[in-house]
Every structure is written in C-alpha cells, then in structure tokens.
Amino acid sequence: MTDHELALNAVRLRQRLLRLIANAGAGHTGGDLSCLDILNVLYHRVLRVSPATRDDPDRDRYVQSKGHCVEALYVVLSSCGFFPDADLDTVCRFRSPYVGHPTRKIPGIEMNTGALGHGLPVCLGMALAAKMDGRSARVFTLLGDGELAEGSNWEAAMAAAHHGLDNLTAILDHNTLQITGPTREVMSNEPVGDKFRAFGWEVREIDGHNYAALTRALTDPPGRGKPTFLIANTIKGKGVSFMENVAKWHHGVPSEAELALALGELEAAEAAMRFTS
C-alpha cells in the first residue's frame, strides 16, 4: 500500500470504527482514533502476519497492551481479512466473542488484554521465546501514556534491556490525555524518552499519524541488543474535529447526531483524498 492508499484506508476505518462504537453503545473512541494510524501501518506494512499465517511460529506478534482500544484493532484486523466485517455488528452483544477488550478467541489476536501494564511483560516472554528458537519473529506492543503509571511496565522495561531483546518494540500512543485529563497533570511520565533510554532502550520519536515516519521507525533495524521504544505523538480523537484533544471522548459514545456529524467530516475527507489521487 502507498501512503495515499493507507491514508484512504484509515479514513474509511475511522468511519467504520465510529459506526461500530455507536452500534455497540460502548467504546474508547478517543484512544481508538489516536492509535488507528499506528495499527494501520503495523498490519498493512510492518507485521509479517496474515490470516493464512496466524498460527505460524515465525509470525510477528502484536499485543495491544492498551486493550481498551480494541475497536481500532477490530476494524484493522477485519480490513486484513482475519474475520468478516459483519462480525463487528456483534461487538459487546450477548454471547458475542467480540467483547470490549482483546481476546484470543478472535482470529489474529495474540493475547487477552485489558488490565493495564500486562502487554509489555507478555511480549518479553514472546521475544525471549523467539530468541531461544532462533526465529526472526519481531514482537510489538502498544502502550497508552496513562498506562505507563503501572509499575509492571517498569519491571519489564528493566528486564527487556537486561535480556537484550532487540526483537521487541514498544510503541507509546503518546496522546498526552487519559480519562481524567492531561497525563502531565494526572501522573506525569515525562521525560518518558529519557526514562526508557536510561533503562537501556533505543528511543525513537515520530508523528504517530505520519505513515512514512511510522513505517521508517517500525522497520529501520533496531539498535543491536536493545529493545526499541517508539514514542508516537498522536492526537486523541484524531480525525474528528470535535473529538480531538477532548478528554471526555476517552470513552464517549457518539449520539446519533454526533455520529452523523463525525461521519460527514470523514466522508468529506475521504472525498477530498480520492480527488487528489
């Protein structure tokens, strides 16, 4: 996919995402929109995994530590063909396997997450297993910035560097907001890059909505013997004007009118993109 095709895919996925959340009556809208471009690049450009290879021991792994943004993962996995789009109409319904956090019952999902601070330790185990077996598989996780207050992340940060896991990349969805408000005010993690550098990681920082930058940062060879910490600077609610940088959209569900307004904006953006192609 070209950058333009990825962008076109993203604007469509944002529409699908909002319809999904409105239909489910639940979702973490703001964070879904902030991490969607990262997932779009990961699954369409970086990860060596597909519906056909989802059980291949050599596949790359992605574990979404910020599990509450599962709706973004659902729409991206569906766009890759892991399951039919119609499944997403069942999200959060009685007896549906598509619950409000990732589970391994869904094709393409590697680990059940949702409680924060679990993804990085689990990915350490996966990265260690790949090293032991001499496999080239890479392991990725996505962390929220509010999530970094969980101490288990720092246990894992220490251990990943100690074990020299250069096949491990932790991506920070650095939207600087969490449910209560700005992360700097709730529990500052800054300077987060310096902290991970001090723990022995290679730290990269990019615009988390820029496809070329994301691709480079996720595919450039890692520092030898060092895990990679990628700070992806993002905008919570990205792509919908009235949701951007507004903490209340953390798990806000759009009303019918808000959904129409948001879809209108995204359809206009899609039309403009088609026109420029």
Question: For residue 58, what are the contacts with CB-CB under 8 A and spacing of at least 6?
Answer: 48, 135, 136, 137
Min dist CB 174 to other proteins, Å, is 22
Structure tokens, 59: 């596949």
Min dist CB 43 to other proteins, Å, is 19
Residue 3's binding partner, choosing from other proteins, Mg ion, none, with beta-carbon cut-off 5 to 8 A by kind? none
Residue 222 vs 237, nearer CB to Mg ion: 237
- The HSE-up count of residue 236 (CA atoms within 13 Å, CB side) is 26
Quick one: which H or E segment has residue 186? helix 183-187
Residue 11 vs 63, nearer CB to other proteins: 63
Structure tokens, 67: 């599990």
Nearest to 251 by CA among 156, 144, 166, 154: 144
Structure tokens, 55: 């059980």
Contact 76, 39 (CB under 8 A): yes
Size of the site for other proteins (CB under 8 A): 32
Fill in the DSSP letter of residue 223.
Answer: P
Site for other proteins in 19-78 (CB under 8 A): 57, 61
Residue 57 vs 264, nearer CB to other proteins: 57
Tally: H helices and E strands in the chain = 9, 7
The amino acid sitting at 82 is F
Min dist CB 153 to other proteins, Å, is 9
Distance CA 66, CA 73 (A): 11
151 contacts other proteins (rule: CB under 8 A)? yes
Residue 60 vs 145, nearer CB to Mg ion: 145
Min dist CB 148 to Mg ion, Å, is 9
175 contacts Mg ion (rule: CB under 5 A)? yes
Structure tokens, 64: 């979404």
Q: Largest alpha-carbon pair distance within the chain?
A: 54
Site for other proteins in 88-127 (CB under 8 A): 103-104, 110-115, 117-118, 120-127
Distance CA 149, CA 116 (A): 9
152 contacts other proteins (rule: CB under 8 A)? yes
Residue 198's binding partner, choosing from Mg ion, other proteins, none, with beta-carbon cut-off 5 to 8 A by kind? none
Contact 208, 233 (CB under 8 A): yes
Which of 144, 222, 227, 254 binds Mg ion (CB under 5 A)? It is 144
Residue 113's binding partner, choosing from other proteins, Mg ion, none, with beta-carbon cut-off 5 to 8 A by kind? other proteins
132 contacts other proteins (rule: CB under 8 A)? yes
Min dist CB 138 to other proteins, Å, is 13
Q: Summarize as ranges the residues that interact with other proteins (CB under 8 A).
A: 57, 61, 103-104, 110-115, 117-118, 120-130, 132-133, 151-152, 155-156, 158-159, 162
Q: Summarize as ranges the residues that interact with Mg ion (CB under 5 A).
A: 144-146, 175, 178
